[in-house]
Amino acid sequence: MKLATLVLFLVALTLAPGAAMAEEGSQSSGGAADNGYSFGLAATIGEGMYFIDSDVYRGPVSIEVVPSFGWSWLKLDLGLSTTLESIRIAGTDVGNWNFTFRPGGRLTPPMLPLYLRAAFPLQIQRHNFDYGIMFGVGTDIPLFGALGLVLEVDTTLSKDLEWGGKGVPLEFRGGVSFRF
């Protein structure tokens, strides 16, 4: 019960600043004008947790750079992520150092200060390759000019974790975005 309360609190905290900005009449969370397309670049740092066999394990710290192209309501992304440490997690390889390609996209529903993200992570580890599907929700809050603040929560179902059968990760990310 405590974990569910924590997750709900973090989601509400993530969405609250964007909701306040949406009420002030700012642009959608995509940051681009509604009639054009844009290029963007986001850089985030993240850490998370793994829920495995009724236990919770800390995940490795990671960084992600996401170049994107799209319109105000749809962005196509190429996420490039790497962990900064290796952690042994419940006898699995999921906490080992890795580099991950995360091609995907973000959908920003009109009039909402958040986006829904989906990606197909292709993870390269030293002696292993993993793939899966990632789902997330986030917000890109315009600060000034082309600069924004990115907050995101993701989860990934992958082959190495037997598509959620062995465990489920939850990752929290924060960083900056630039719109061109």
Which of residues 20 and 118 earns the better pLDDT score?
A: 118
User: How sure is the predictor about 99, in pLDDT bands with cuts at 50, 70 and 90?
Assistant: very high
- d(C-alpha 27, C-alpha 84), whole Å: 34
- d(C-alpha 37, C-alpha 71), whole Å: 4
Domain boundaries, the chain: 2-179
Strand partners, 89: 92
The third-level CATH classification (topology) of the domain covering 2-179 is: Porin (2.40.160)
| HSE of 129, CA atoms in CB hemisphere, 13 A | 2
Comparing 31-35, 119-123, 153-157, the range with the smallest average pLDDT is 31-35
pTM of the model: 0.77
% of residues, the chain, pLDDT over 90: 58
Given this model, what pLDDT does residue 107 score? 97
> What pLDDT digit, counting tens, does each position of 44-83 carry?
999 999 999 889 999 999 999 999 999 889 999 999 999 9
> What pLDDT digit, counting tens, does each position of 116-136 carry?
999 999 999 877 888 999 999
Residues ≥6 apart with Cβ < 8 Å to 52:
89, 90, 92, 161, 166, 167
